[in-house]
Amino acid sequence: MGEVTTSTVTDVSPQQGRKIVMVETPTTVDTADTIPITLADFGITTFLAIEGHTHSTENSIVIAEAPTTAVSAGVLTITVGGSTNSDEKRVYIIYGK
């Protein structure tokens, strides 16, 4: 278990009233790793929801995966989970306003 610091974070819809942010991890992420996201960096004051996916075959087979989340002092912490898969790329879609 460790903190993932090399994820790619993309502000998908910065000017639409609602915010959508995509987090794409490297292929080395394991179950129970954590990814901190400072919500204010993307203009988010309220965290609404998250969708998670894992790539069981790199950039090919995509499986829904439910992460655990917590927000403290404006930082969303995503804890990778929902499967026993390790060393795989994850993609998370964060919804906020």
Give the pLDDT mean for 4-27. Answer: 75
Query: Do the Cβ atoms of 50 and 96 come closer than 8 Å?
Result: no
Q: Average per-residue pLDDT in the chain?
A: 84
Q: Give one DSSP letter per residue of 27-53, joined into a string.
A: TT--TT-EEEEEGGGGT-SSEEEEEEE
Domain coordinates of the chain in residue numbers?
8-96
pLDDT digits (tens, 9 = 90+) for 39-53: 999 889 999 999 999
pLDDT of residue 27: 86
Q: pTM score > 0.75 for this model?
A: yes
User: Rounded to 5 degrees, what angle do the CA atoms 42, 8, 57 make?
Assistant: 135
pLDDT digits (tens, 9 = 90+) for 55-76: 877 677 788 888 999 999 999 9
Architecture of domain 8-96: Sandwich (2.60)
Instruction: Find the distance separating the first CA and the last CA of the chain, reported in whole Å.
Output: 30
CA of residue 82 relative to chain centroid, distance: 13
